[in-house]
Amino acid sequence: MAGEVHCIEHPLIQHKLSLMRRKETSTSNFRALLQEIAMLLGYEVTRDLQLELHEIETPLMTMKAPFLAGKKVVLISVLRAGTGLLDGMTKILPSARVGHVGMYRDPETLAPVEYYFRVPSDLADRAVIVVDPMLATGNSAAAAVTRIKQEGASRIKFACLLAAPEGIAAFHAVHPDVPVFTAAIDERLNDHGYILPGLGDAGDRLFGTK
Ligand code: URA
């Protein structure tokens, strides 16, 4: 089964992403733009959430009005850069439950190493959106989703800002059932696992650590 990939080509997202890619973009602008794009991506990622009708009273009459059905969505941020996407998504899903998975890439092997894991206990009953801005090698994303599935989650989507073709292929080789939502699919990875042309290290740019 080939995995689903949704590249969200909305002009506002593309414009904001181009501003983020520029090397001279400041930390504060980078952070603000990532939050804005996360809200727009979140709008697309949640497009198929189920609704159910409940009776309400407007000032004029009663009506059956649509509300989100089922338990609250869970957003799971892959630390540390996932925090940037999480901030925007919680703006449009203010009641979402939130989990965190700490993964870093071993600089030699590029293999993911887990250092933190804390998620809501009832993932089996909830739609889960995993957020990490850069789908590069796909190793950390695949490892994070494997871990999240071990906790019982089955309705999972993965949302990122940029993806490399190699990362999408590696991720879907392990998780063909998890749709990927991204703002752009770039050319390729370099020898250090960075996305080209990309935007550099998303964590460093978001937190001003370099
Ligand atoms: N992580 C980043 O922050 N940037 C890349 O280009 C790849 C992985």
CATH of the domain at 166: 3.40.50.2020
Query: Which of 201, 204, 206, 210 to probe ligand 1 with, by most ligand atoms within 8 A of CB?
Result: 201
Is the separation of the CB atoms in 74 and 97 below 8 Å? yes
| Beta-bridge mates of residue 196 | 188
Closest C-alpha to ligand 1, atom 5: 194
pTM confidence score: 0.95
Q: Is 198 a pocket residue for ligand 1 (Cβ < 6 Å)?
A: yes
Residues of the chain under the 70 pLDDT cut = 1
Predicted confidence at residue 1, as pLDDT, reads 64
Of 33, 45, 60, 16, residue with least CA distance to 127: 45
Predicted confidence at residue 129, as pLDDT, reads 98
Q: What share of the chain is helix, strand, coil (3-state, %, to 5)?
A: 35, 30, 35
d(CA 45, CA 7): 11
Number of domains in the chain: 1
In ligand 1, the atom with minimum distance to the C-alpha of 194 is: 6
In ligand 1, the atom with minimum distance to the C-alpha of 81 is: 3
| Beta-bridge mates of residue 197 | none
How far, CA to CA in Å, does 52 sit from each of 49, 60, 64, 90, 155? 10, 22, 9, 22, 19
Predicted confidence at residue 172, as pLDDT, reads 98
Q: Is 207 a pocket residue for ligand 1 (Cβ < 6 Å)?
A: no
For residue 42, the SS3 value is helix
Predicted confidence at residue 103, as pLDDT, reads 84
201 assigned to active site = yes
106 assigned to active site = no
Which range marks the domain in which residue 10 is found?
Answer: 5-207
Give per-residue pLDDT as tens, 102-149: 988 787 887 888 999 999 999 999 999 999 999 999 999 999 999 999
